[in-house]
Chains A and B, each alone.
Chain A
């Protein structure tokens, strides 16, 4: 029997059983919120196509073991070379988070530039406000034991990207991880996050990243999700963007059994700029759901968004792009596009742009397309001697290249391209199954 109901008794016992510390009051506040909502269900409009039954089952098992204090909080197994590959390929200051636990020893040895401070969230909770704006972010905060807090001082532009390697390969645990990013006035930071798992059996990760961009600051964030095909993840990114600040989020989803991303950008200052770009590749029975929301609370401000998807097999993807222009947010310029390549007649995409405009002087546009590979282009390539497999591969890569070209972090380009090419090849191989 499947259900999205979280056992309330187990939940309460688990929250109360966590080791006390600086996060205790944050957890109990969040637990109150979550107890009211529980997991989202199909009755929630935003979760119409994505069911969290599997995640709820795994969560209930984990809560039971937490309530009995039978879960260790130490990272045990060493990471494999394959899991560490991104740290070898992308030149960044890497921080490793294994099954939701930060490798604190390695973090302590990291030599970061002056003006950059990375600490453990449980040891550095001064003026910390954990975002609990949704059931899943409240669930995360209620059960949080570890996470990262990154602060960049005013006027510090960090050259080398910061890297987060998030590996989840423990079946007995549901990972709750939170990253808090705080950039001071005119600060600049680039972050590469790679999320991996190992296919040890069904696992569930519920992650939250919250970002505060002060005046004139700039964050480029890349997330590359390459989970194993039995992994469930819900991932929420909430950005508050002040005057003249720039937020760029590049989102690549290649793996996972069920993946749900919520990306929320809240523009709170004039002159802000938001760039969202995403690429999702799904085959087999994969399910990838991207919900994005840009709130133009003030104007003038600009937001650009382009998401592309490539679907094969019996996969199912969802794109929902909300843009809300608040009353008085004049001078808003918001555009959004979602393009999909359907390579199988059994794959399904549900794409929905949602514009809500309450201001007068705005420029907004959106567009969504769903199509197949261009037969004329296929014939052209074949007429030059390329076989069908290579012609299809080239055209599929070309479709994806539009998003790859938007990648803001050059250090990661080669690695992402390599992963993308591999994923395209495996995805195209799926079509006859």
Chain B
């Protein structure tokens, strides 16, 4: 099986605060992994480091993507290589058109792969198709990026971007937070749609409920900046029942 993401002994922090303390993780193509853990355990930090946020400093360890050193690449290069981060808090950018961003993103990737740019007609057709499956009104294409979107609309917009960009590795940071049950089901269906033998998906989540709809192959528990337990989907149910204290106690014991 082809390894997509290989994180080894990753130490990282922001400013003087160290957050990740020797994290190891291997995600193969075709797999869905869930990373769970209490607040402050380092889940979002891991996602931001993989996407290349400059505020986070890597102190030790390595991150390889399809065998290449990911940490050497700029955020935009990572994106064009096929890394996608679904933001926990998608940014509102009034004045930048949603359709423009989507098209520019798709074309940046296509140029990188040596493909012709997508034409306007083809782009609109594709975007409308994907929006229909996500239950998004095409009017959202004409709005500013996430401008005035509700929490659920923002998350759908992230999934739309993912669907258009067809990444090799998708990291979805708390994509389930702030969603009502209907929105959760739609977003989950959007994620399931993208499950593919060539694609790796990492779900970063605090709660188990997303995993009722997107069934993970592996579940990891992150605590104090490292993975303390790994298992199959039953681990998520155990966590739901016993809470994170149970893991911490198990680790300390």
Contact = CB atoms under 8 A, between A and B. Distances in A.
A and B interact: yes
Interface of A: 374, 376-377, 379-388, 390, 394-395, 397-399, 401-402
B94 to A, nearest CB: 6
B87 A385 contact: no
**Which 6 pairs of residues, A with B, have the shortest CB-CB distance?**
A398-B95, A385-B108, A385-B79, A384-B105, A401-B95, A380-B91
Interface of B: 51-54, 74-76, 78-80, 85, 87, 90-91, 93-96, 100-101, 104-105, 108-109, 112, 144-145, 161, 165
A308 B244 CA distance: 50
A402 to B, nearest CB: 7
B108 A386 contact: yes
A383 B52 contact: yes
Contacts of B75: 379, 382-383
B95 A384 contact: no
A24 to B, nearest CB: 52
25 contacts: A374-B91, A377-B91, A380-B93, A380-B145, A382-B52, A382-B75, A382-B76, A383-B78, A384-B101, A384-B104, A384-B105, A385-B104, A385-B105, A385-B112, A385-B165, A386-B76, A386-B105, A387-B76, A394-B101, A397-B95, A397-B96, A398-B93, A398-B144, A399-B95, A402-B95
B95 A381 contact: no
Contacts of B80: 385
A376 B91 contact: yes
B94 A385 contact: no
B92 to A, nearest CB: 8
Contacts of B91: 374, 376-377, 380
Contacts, number: 71
A387 B108 contact: yes
Contacts of B165: 384-385
A395 B145 CA distance: 11
Contact of A379 (B54, B96, B108): B54
A399 B94 CA distance: 8
A385 B109 contact: yes
Contacts of A387: 76, 108
Contacts of B94: 398
Nearest to A390: B104
B252 to A, nearest CB: 36
Most buried by B among A377, A386, A387, A402: A386
A401 B161 CA distance: 24
A384 B80 CA distance: 8
Contact of B76 (A385, A394, A399): A385
Given A397-B95, A398-B96, A380 B87 contact: yes
Contacts of B93: 377, 380-381, 394-395, 398
Contacts of A397: 95-96
